[in-house]
Chains A and B, each alone.
Chain A
Amino acid sequence: GAVVSQHPSRVICKSGTSVKIECRSLDFQATTMFWYRQFPKQSLMLMATSNEGSKATYEQGVEKDKFLINHASLTLSTLTVTSAHPEDSSFYICSAGTAYSNQPQHFGDGTRLSIL
């Protein structure tokens, strides 16, 4: 099946640091990528949707200046958590979809971010 690679799998850093997470579709062209956040014992919450070559669309309550998303190519999207604080500690997950809208999205294995 389709493979989505997410890197790094785990990050531990100090408060105030900016952290970049990469999401790559390895064997298909991902025209749309999605970024989710999951807090302990909760379900996935969609943060933003990005289409290749255009600005991301953020869900209500998600700060676009804090969570910078770049989708510069059909195989790579990045999420940068700027000036991260302990409350940003979470499990961040990306997914990738194709231009065939009824084809399933495929998810990365997630990035566990811990801000000290």
Chain B
Amino acid sequence: DAKTTQPPSMDCAEGRAANLPCNHSTISGNEYVYWYRQIHSQGPQYIIHGLKNNETNEMASLIITEDRKSSTLILPHATLRDTAVYYCIVPIRVTAAGNKLTFGGGTRVLVKP
């Protein structure tokens, strides 16, 4: 399984972009990178995932390096409601119908006014 490494915490100014790095140097060619976040006392929320190409949705952008050993999640205009723990995960395939997510420590993002 591909282990991920994230900084433990990060502060961000409201209205500015938040760039969250993740290292996954042992990722294999067919493994995706997923990002989730957990706001206090709630279940994790899916943000975005990608394989090789950069991805963008209504929540965030995901930039994956060409060698796929690292990625960056970008929250374009952080709001106070984006304060959460952000997890970068490379799942383990357990069955044909599902992948196992291993949650590490994540990055605790605090958006400040």
Our verdict on whether A and B bind, yes or no, reads: yes
Q: Number of A residues whose C-beta is below 8 Å from B?
A: 30
| Interface membership of B16, Cβ < 8 A | no
| Interface membership of A104, Cβ < 8 A | yes
- Binary interface profile of A, 56-92, with partner B (CB < 8 Å = 1, else 0)? 0100000000000000000000000000000000010
Q: In the bound complex, do residue B96 and residue A107 qualify as a contact, i.e. CB atoms below 8 Å apart?
A: no
Q: In the bound complex, do residue A51 and residue B97 qualify as a contact, i.e. CB atoms below 8 Å apart?
A: yes
**With the chains together, A47 CA to B103 CA distance in Å?**
12
A36 closest partner in B (C-beta): B103
Name the segment of B39-47, B62-70, B76-84 touching the other chain.
B39-47
Residues of B within 8 A of A4 (CB): 43
Known contacts A107-B45, A110-B43; is-contact A49 B101 (Cβ 8 Å): no
**With the chains together, A108 CA to B46 CA distance in Å?**
11
Q: How large is the interface on B (under 10, 10 to 19, 20 to 34, 35 or more residues)?
A: 20 to 34
Closest CB in chain B relative to A92 CB, distance in Å:
10
Residues of A within 8 A of B100 (CB): 34, 46, 49
Q: In the bound complex, do residue A31 and residue B44 qualify as a contact, i.e. CB atoms below 8 Å apart?
A: no
**With the chains together, A97 CA to B32 CA distance in Å?**
15
**With the chains together, A43 CA to B102 CA distance in Å?**
9
> Of the candidates A32, A44, A98, A99, which one forms a contact with B44 in the assembled complex, judged by CB atoms under 8 Å apart?
A44
Q: In the bound complex, do residue B49 and residue A104 qualify as a contact, i.e. CB atoms below 8 Å apart?
A: yes
> Of the candidates B38, B41, B43, B97, which one forms a contact with A101 in the assembled complex, judged by CB atoms under 8 Å apart?
B97
**With the chains together, A46 CA to B92 CA distance in Å?**
12
Residues of A within 8 A of B95 (CB): 32, 49, 51
Q: In the bound complex, do residue B97 and residue A32 qualify as a contact, i.e. CB atoms below 8 Å apart?
A: yes
Known contacts A101-B98, A105-B46; is-contact A110 B41 (Cβ 8 Å): yes
List residues of chain B with CB under 8 Å of any chain A CB: 32, 34, 36, 38, 41-46, 49, 51, 87, 93-106
The 4 A-B residue pairs with the shortest CB-CB distance in the complex, in nearest-first order: A32-B98, A107-B43, A31-B97, A44-B103
User: What are 9 A-B contacts defined by CB distance under 8 Å?
Assistant: A32-B94, A36-B103, A44-B44, A46-B101, A98-B97, A99-B96, A101-B96, A102-B32, A109-B42
